[in-house]
């Protein structure tokens, strides 16, 4: 068993380079802020493991997600927005394979429209949105869930982008958080699925124009989610012909090409 959880924080890293206001909030990129917080925020659940956190960005060779790097990754955190279409399909295939084998995937905010999230869930993943500097109240509706450890009944973000229902995703295995916005909408903002052997968590907050990833409650959610998504097994997919475990008895019948069973005396 591993003594640490290997985490890669992936970010397309375009807004921070192109918009001075966003760069002022995240001077080294959102990925760097998230990674630094994870290194400092311990998991609260029993058996929580320390984290080995690194980052990757869109502009790196293979988007920073080589076969070798992903093979050693336990949990991948994904933030994307304006550059979804720039992500190579071969890398999406590679990430999907690793999730099905057991790697955890945490998708943040506008990553709902990322190629990998839509691939894993098989739906449009569309929603309503509005950017109007609204307060978001995030209700913890499953306080016993490991991802909610250390949180109160709710927490608030003074400014966030609104996401509203209907969120076109498959029925989640678990809903941990529901958000209410100042304009009146609600949104299922913390959702869990399993695909293959891997766990997936979607967490709504994180608009690039607000300091959301500096918030201690948001950091707590991400730290807890990494512990929850840590692989329980890693199983590479194969489809072998399997020999019988027991001795098979001979049957006194044969099958025609049409699949009709005939005894030896039948014509």
User: Tens digits of per-residue pLDDT, 3-26?
Assistant: 899 999 999 999 999 999 999 999
| pLDDT, average across residues 42-62 | 91
The 8 Å CB, 24+ separation contacts for 171-176 are 174/142, 174/145, 175/141, 175/142, 176/140, 176/141, 176/142, 176/145, 176/147, 176/148
* Mean pLDDT, the chain, whole residue set: 94
pLDDT of 43:
73
**Beta strand pairing status for 253-255 and 261-263?**
antiparallel
Q: How confident is the model at residue 257 (pLDDT cuts 50, 70, 90)?
A: low
- Strand ranges for the chain from DSSP E: 5-11, 51-57, 75-79, 104-108, 128-140, 154-164, 174-181, 186-195, 198-203, 253-255, 261-263
Average pLDDT over residues 190-214: 98
pLDDT band at 89 (very low <50, low <70, confident <90, very high): very high
Question: Residue 5: which of 106, 73, 86 has the closest Cα?
Answer: 73
HSE of 143, CA atoms in CB hemisphere, 13 A: 7
Token pair for 228 = 């929850």
CB-based burial label for 1 (10 Å; 0-12, 13-18, 19+): exposed
21-30, 35-44, 167-176, 223-232: range with lowest mean pLDDT: 35-44
Domain 5-123+187-229 bears CATH identifier 3.40.50.300: no
Q: What are 75's strand-pairing partners? A: 7, 104
β-partners of residue 163 are 129
Whether the per-residue pLDDT at 111 is higher than 70: the answer is yes
What is the predicted pLDDT for the residue at 57? 98
Give CA–CA dist 73/70, Å, rounded: 5
What does each C-alpha distance from 59 to 35, 86, 101 come to in angstroms? 18, 10, 26
State yes or no: pLDDT of 260 exceeds 90.
Answer: no
**Looking at residue 19, what is its pLDDT?**
98
- Specify the pLDDT at position 64: 98
Q: Percent of the chain at pLDDT above 70?
A: 94
Is the whole model's pTM more than 0.75, yes or no?
A: yes
Confidence of residue 253 (pLDDT cuts 50, 70, 90): low
Tell me what pLDDT residue 45 has: 76
| Predicted confidence (pLDDT) at residue 113 exceeds the cutoff of 90 | yes
Bridge partners, residue 10, by sequence? 56, 78
Residue 259: CB partners within 8 Å, gap ≥ 6? Answer: none
Coarse DSSP helix, strand, coil percentages of the chain, rounded to the nearest 5 percent: 30, 30, 40
Crossing angle for the helix pair 216-229 and 30-40, nearest 10 degrees?
80
Over residues 130-161, the pLDDT tens digits come to 999 999 999 999 999 999 999 999 999 999 99
pLDDT at 44: 75
Q: Which residues pair with 187 in a beta bridge?
A: 179
């Amino acid at each position: 068993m591993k003594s640490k959880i290997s985490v890669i924080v992936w970010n397309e890293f375009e807004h921070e380079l192109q918009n001075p206001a966003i760069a002022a909030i995240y001077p080294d990129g959102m990925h760097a802020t998230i990674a630094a917080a994870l290194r400092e925020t311990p998991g609260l659940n029993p058996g929580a493991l320390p984290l080995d956190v690194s980052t990757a960005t869109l502009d790196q060779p293979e988007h920073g997600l080589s076969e070798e790097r992903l093979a050693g990754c336990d949990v991948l955190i994904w933030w994307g927005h304006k550059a979804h279409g720039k992500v190579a399909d071969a890398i999406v295939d590679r990430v999907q394979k690793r999730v099905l084998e057991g790697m955890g995937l945490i998708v943040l905010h506008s990553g709902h429209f990322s190629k990998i999230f839509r691939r894993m869930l098989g739906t449009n993943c569309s929603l309503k949105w509005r950017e109007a500097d609204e307060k978001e109240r995030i209700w913890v509706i499953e306080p016993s869930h490991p991802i909610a450890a250390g949180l109160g009944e709710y927490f608030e973000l003074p400014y966030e982008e609104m996401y509203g229902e209907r969120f076109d995703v498959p029925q989640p295995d678990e809903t941990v958080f529901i958000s209410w916005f100042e304009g009146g909408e609600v949104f299922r903002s913390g959702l869990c699925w399993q695909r293959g052997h891997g766990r997936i968590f979607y967490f709504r907050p994180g608009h690039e124009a607000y300091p959301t990833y500096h918030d201690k409650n948001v950091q707590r959610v991400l730290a807890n989610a990494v512990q929850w998504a840590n692989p329980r097994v890693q199983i590479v997919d194969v489809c072998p012909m399997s020999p019988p475990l027991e001795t098979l008895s001979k049957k006194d019948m044969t099958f025609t090409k049409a699949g009709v069973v005939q005894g030896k005396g039948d014509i």
